[in-house]
Amino acid sequence: MATSNGKIHGSYLATKDGTKIYFKDWGPKDGQPIVFSHGWPLTGDAFEDQMLFLSERGFRTIAHDRRGNGRSTQVWDGHDMDHFADDLAELTEALDLKKAIHVGHSTGGGEVARYIGRHGTARVAKAVLIGAVPPIMLKTDWHPNGLPMKVFDDIRAGVRNDRATFYKNLSMAFYGFNKPGAKVSEGLRESFVLQGLMGSIKAEYDTVKAFSETDFRADLAKFDVPTLVMHGDADQIVPFEAAGKLTASLVKGAKLKVYPGQPHGMCSTIKDAINEDLLSFVRGG
C-alpha cells in the first residue's frame, strides 16, 4: 500500500524523511483500530498483553516502535515530540485508520497528546493516557510540583554511563518491585532491559529531554474526544499529582481513573484490571 505520506512494506512504514517505523498490526482488519504508543525506553512489545486481549475481542490493534527504538531505524536525530507525533500521523494515514482509539503510556502519552495537538482528531474517536508525562514533567514556574532537572540529568548520566545496569535498576521502581512485599518478576525485569537495549543510545538519551521538558498544555486544550486518564497513585516514575491528576483537569470532559497503590508499569503488573478497564472504555463505558 502506498500513500502520499509514506509507504508500507510488510511491517514497516517508510516516512517522508526516510525513517523506517516498525509496527505490529493484529486482529481483524475490519475491527475498530486501537493504536498504542509505548513508553521510554521500551518498544511496542510493552503493550502485547493489551493487544492480545483486545484483538481477541474483535479490535484491530496496532503498536509501533518509536523512531530510534526497537526495530525502527536508528536515526541520528528527530527524537522530539513533533517528530514522534508526525511519524504517528503518517502511520495512521498510510493504514487509513478511521475512528481510531489512541492509547499512550508514559512518553507515549505525550506522543498521543502532541499528535492530537498537531494533527487534530479527524481520525480519532477516543484517547487514553496511562501514567502519561503531560502536562510537563519538569519543575517550572507554572508547574511547581514537577521534578527538578537533576532527576533528568541523572537519567541521562545512567544511559550514557552503563545503560544496561541503569535499565535493570530502573525496572524495580518502574514496576513497583521495590515496595515492601512486592512479588518481583525477574522475567519482566529482563524484558524491560532487553527492550531498552534494542533502541539506540542516542535516541534514548535525546528522548529524555523530549519527555521531561515538553509543555503539552496547548495540545491538551485541543482534545475534543472522550478521554480516559489512568494513573497509579504510587507511580514512582511519573508522579500522579503532577501528571495524571493535572492532565485530567486540563482535558475537557476527561474521565480520571486512579489505581491505588499501583506503579508506573501497571499495564504489566495488573494487566487483567487494565485490560478490562480499557475494554469498558473503548466499548463506550
List, by residue number, the catalytic residues: 106, 235, 264
CA distance 137 to 159: 18
What are the φ/ψ torsions at residue 33 (nearest 5 degrees)? -75, 140
Does the bond joining 41 to the residue before it have cis omega, within 30 degrees of 0?
yes
DSSP 73-136: ---SS--SHHHHHHHHHHHHHHTT--SEEEEEETHHHHHHHHHHHHH-STTEEEEEEES---S-
How distant is the alpha carbon of residue 110 from its chain centre?
7
Kindly report the number of other CB atoms within 10 A of residue 158's CB atom: 17
Contact 99, 33 (CB under 8 A): yes
List the grid coordinates of 141: 514556574
Torsion (CA) 239, 195, 275, 248 in degrees, nearest 10: 30
Residues 171 and 188 sit within 8 Å (Cβ to Cβ): yes
Residue closest to 246 by CA, chosen among 108, 113, 81: 113
C-alpha angle with apex 169: 197 to 175, nearest 5 degrees?
A: 95
Cell of 102: 489512541
Q: Is the preceding peptide bond at 135 cis, omega within 30 degrees of 0?
A: yes
Report, in this order, helix, strand and coil percent for the chain, each rounded to 5.
40, 20, 40
Amino acid at 275: N
Q: What are phi and psi of 8, to 5 degrees?
A: -100, 125
